[in-house]
Amino acid sequence: MTSPAIRDRTVLVTGGGGFIGSHLVEALAPYNDVRVLDNFSTGSRDNLSSVTSPQWTNDAPTSADGGFDDAGGGGDAGDAGDAGDARYDGSPTIIDGDITDPMALQRAARGVDLIFHQAALVSVAKSVDAPRRSNETNLDASLLVLDQARQEDARVVLASSAAVYGHPDELPVSETARTEPTSPYGIQKLALDQYARRYHELYDLPTVALRYFNAYGPRQQGPYSGVISTFLEQARSDDPITIEGDGEQTRDFVHVSDVVRANIRAATTDAVGEAYNVGTGDRTSIRDLAELVRDAVGSSSPIVHREPRPGDIRHSRADVSKASRELGFETRVGLESGIRSLVAETGSEQGRSTSPPQEQGQGQGQGQQQQQQQQQPLTARPERQSQD
């Protein structure tokens, strides 16, 4: 069993009742004093009910990580003891409040060492419908978080997005690629991402922005929640699986357990003031995804097409070399295994999982993943290095 990388800290997870936030809370709560700030508009308290038996590990960093000693106090990540040695009751303190409310944020952040800023309106489509409303949550509130972190002298790990790149000139897309977002959501995440880096430069605040590619996993639900959960619901009810556009658009789907691990790395690295891609380095077309989900469910749903989505990006695939080099981060869960476990886990009750997906083995590089992808023809088309 590995050692927890973060322990005996006071940690705030904004959006901790949501999809990614609740998995993060689950990993941290047995070893830390965790607070959740959430208005439960899209997240839920049910998402926080299983944190006494963490599914994902808050495991120790690799040698590429800098540890968390620089923040002062607490134990060393490398010799922190056994992960079974949980000293907290695993229940986060819940602050029911809106991230845009400075008073609620101030209360939630008082005395924290570390903030994981996950609260956001994640729907690209909704940001197109209501740009100012999504800007308030995704950008204005992020500035409040950064300012509050300065007050508390706390490290901040922020959820940025692959949406900052817009239509990439070439794939895989690296952190130095041109950023030309195609939606208000992408613009907001780009501004957040740049503020995070500038706050490090200007005020010496330890910040890390994680550019999530397409995260999926248990507890992702609701009408705007992401294509895998939508397809899964449609396949389960034998309803038509609705592809927007021709289905040739591609995404890099990353399992939530890997996203959690990237956050833990970001919270313990010395390489702050940076943005990192969080993806697998593989990509899958939406059409292949529809077939993969339908097969995994054993459904007879027809696959239908409707209008493409305004502001949609065409292709996306992460260059993961910087995260690998600086954070020691490698993904462990392949798409096919992730989807199969999702189907099994959510069969009876959304997100109440006891069996995490089979991991591919630690330290697996991008090349190995591509090789495996070829052995799993359902998941992928041959790689194309440029946009079509």
Q: Which residues bind ligand UD1 (CB under 6 A)?
A: 122-124, 161-163, 212-214, 224-227, 230, 242-244, 249, 251, 286, 309, 312, 316
One of 31, 88, 165, 185 is an active-site residue; which one?
Answer: 185
Beta carbon of residue 167, minimum distance to ligand UD1 (angstroms, whole number): 12
Between 57 and 257, name the residue whose CB sits nearer to ligand UD1. Answer: 257
Q: Burial, 118: exposed, middle or buried (Cβ in 10 Å; 0-12, 13-18, 19+)?
A: buried
Nearer to ligand UD1, 248 or 383 (CB): 248
Q: Which helix (H) or strand (E) holds 157?
A: strand 155-161
Task: Find tokens 């959430």 and name the residue.
Answer: 38
Which residue lies nearer to ligand UD1 by CB, 117 or 251?
A: 251
Taking alpha carbons only, the member of 91, 88, 95 closest to residue 110 is 95
Neighbours of 225 (CB within 10 A): 18
Closest Cα partner for 313 from 248, 264, 229? 248
Question: For strand 155-161 and strand 207-212, is the pairing parallel, antiparallel, or unpaired?
Answer: parallel
Longest dimension (CA), the chain: 57
Nearer to ligand UD1, 9 or 287 (CB): 287
* Parallel, antiparallel or unpaired: strands 284-285 and 250-251: antiparallel
Helical segments of the chain, H only: 19-28, 102-109, 124-129, 131-135, 141-152, 184-203, 227-236, 256-268, 286-297, 321-322, 335-345, 366-375
Q: Which one, 80 or 139, has the nearer CB to ligand UD1?
A: 139
For residue 185, indicate whether it is catalytic: yes
Q: Which of 219, 258, 216 is nearest to 51 (CA)?
A: 219
Residue 225 CB, shortest distance to ligand UD1, in Å, is: 6
Closer to ligand UD1 at the Cβ: 92 or 184?
Answer: 184
**Angle, in degrees to the nearest 10, between helices 335-345 and 227-236:** 50
Q: How far apart are CA 136 and CA 158, in angstroms?
A: 16
Tokens of 78: 């490398």
How far, in Å, CA of 66 to CA of 86, rounded?
A: 23
Min dist. Cβ of residue 240 to ligand UD1 (A)? 10
Asked if 124 contacts 131 with a C-beta cutoff of 8 angstroms, the reply is no
Given a contact cutoff of 8 angstroms between Cβ atoms, the answer to whether 323 and 280 are in contact is: no
- State which residue, 94 or 99, has the beta carbon closest to ligand UD1: 99
Peptide bond into 172 cis (omega under 30): yes
Question: Residues 235, 237, 238, 242: is their CA dihedral positive or negative?
Answer: negative
Nearest approach, Cβ of residue 134 and ligand UD1 (Å): 11
The residues carrying an active-site annotation are: 185
